[in-house]
Copies of this chain bind each other. A is one copy, B any other.
Amino acid sequence: MTGQVHSPASDSTEAGPKAFEAVCTVKSNDLANDAYRLLVLDAPRHILKCQPGQFFHLLCPVTDQHQPYLRRPMSIYSFDEEVGELAFLYKVEGEGTKAMATLTPGDSFNVLGPLGVGYSIKPDWNNLLLVARGVGLATLAPLAQEAARLGRKLTAICSARSEAALLSTEHFRRLGTEVISVTDEDGSSSVDNLRRLIEARIAEEGVDAFYTCGSNRLLKLLQELGKKHNIPGEIALEQQMACGLGMCQCCVRPFRKGDDIVQLRVCKEGPVFDLQEAMGW
């Protein structure tokens, strides 16, 4: 017999592996703006039973210029089980993402996933509000896909440096999300303005849940508003990862559970966590 059903983290009753190492083929890897690229892969269907907020752990290529060693975690930007397509939106930063940027159509690319626990949409959550910035929008994009599938109303407040730096707003709109964009350029992305915007939303049509990711500023704001109006929420967090599978314990962060502070693994108990349990940094 296999040990699947004994896995403490397992809540599925399916036998066989739940995370897969698969070699995909690059379909495209184009610039999304000056700093981001969208990598679209031809992926085997059996790895595409994904939840929004889950991630893959990517084996970046080794090139003459770049020699990344560890895998790099990236949120799923979009997945389509029928077409067999998987996409990542990533910022070109260091050794690994620079190496990823060299991928061209037809190249092989090894991915491990889907991994982690994603966002949830409870049956009685109808008005969903998403607030995110920068690459955080990549992480939240599949939530729009899922909200559309479930017929819920999703509003996305997308924040960026400038109008030009705004990512994925078209992608969100295509999925039926109402997009409100705010920028540093015109001052609309300030915490105060965001608070005003969200308070107005809550007053007008009500908000059943908040979704966000990554930013400390947004975390604090949404925790405050969530407490005040008793609105639940979820946040995706990041941490350095080695295994991505829950084995090495390198990716822990502290969370408030009642009066205790517990260390949870971002790759296994996360990357999506309860908004109020998350701790600022």
Q: Chain A residues in contact with chain B, CB under 8 A?
A: 61-64, 67
Q: Can you name the residue of chain B whose Cβ is closest to the Cβ of A59?
A: B64
Whole-angstrom distance from the CB of A109 to the nearest CB of chain B? 10
Chain B residues in 8 Å Cβ range of A61:
64
In the complex, the 5 A-B pairs of residues with the closest C-beta atoms, listed nearest first: A62-B64, A61-B64, A62-B62, A62-B67, A62-B63
Complex CA–CA separation, A129 to B15 (angstroms): 73
Main secondary structure of the interface of A (DSSP, over half): loop
Give complex CA distance A63, B67 in Å. Answer: 9
Give the chain B neighbours of A64 by CB distance below 8 A: 61-63
Q: Which residue of B lies closest to A62 (CB)?
A: B64
* Chain B residues positioned under 8 Å from A63 (CB to CB): 62-64
Q: How far, in whole Å, are A64 and B61 apart by their CA atoms in the complex? A: 6
Query: When chains A and B are docked, how far (Å) is the Cα of A61 from the Cα of B62?
Result: 11
A67: which B residues are within 8 A, CB to CB? 62, 67
CA of A93 to CA of B62 in the docked complex: distance in angstroms? 21
**Residue of A62, A64, A67 ringed by the most chain B CB atoms within 10 A:** A64
Alpha-carbon separation in the docked complex, A62 to B65 (Å): 8
CA of A62 to CA of B102, assembled, Å: 14
In the bound assembly, the distance between CA atoms of A62 and B68 in angstroms comes to 12
Who on chain B is nearest to A60 by CB?
A: B64
Residue contacts A-B, CB under 8 angstroms, 8 given: A61-B64, A62-B62, A62-B63, A62-B64, A62-B67, A63-B63, A63-B64, A67-B67
Closest chain B residue to A61, Cβ basis? B64
Report the bound CA distance from A61 to B63 in whole Å. Answer: 8
Expressed in whole angstroms, the minimum distance between the Cβ of A59 and any Cβ of chain B is: 9
A62 proximity list for chain B (CB < 8 A):
62-64, 67
- A112 CB to closest chain B CB (Å) equals 17
CA distance A63 to B99 in the complex (A): 11
Shortest CB-to-CB span from A113 to chain B, Å, is: 20
**What is the bound-complex CA distance between A62 and B67, given in angstroms?**
9
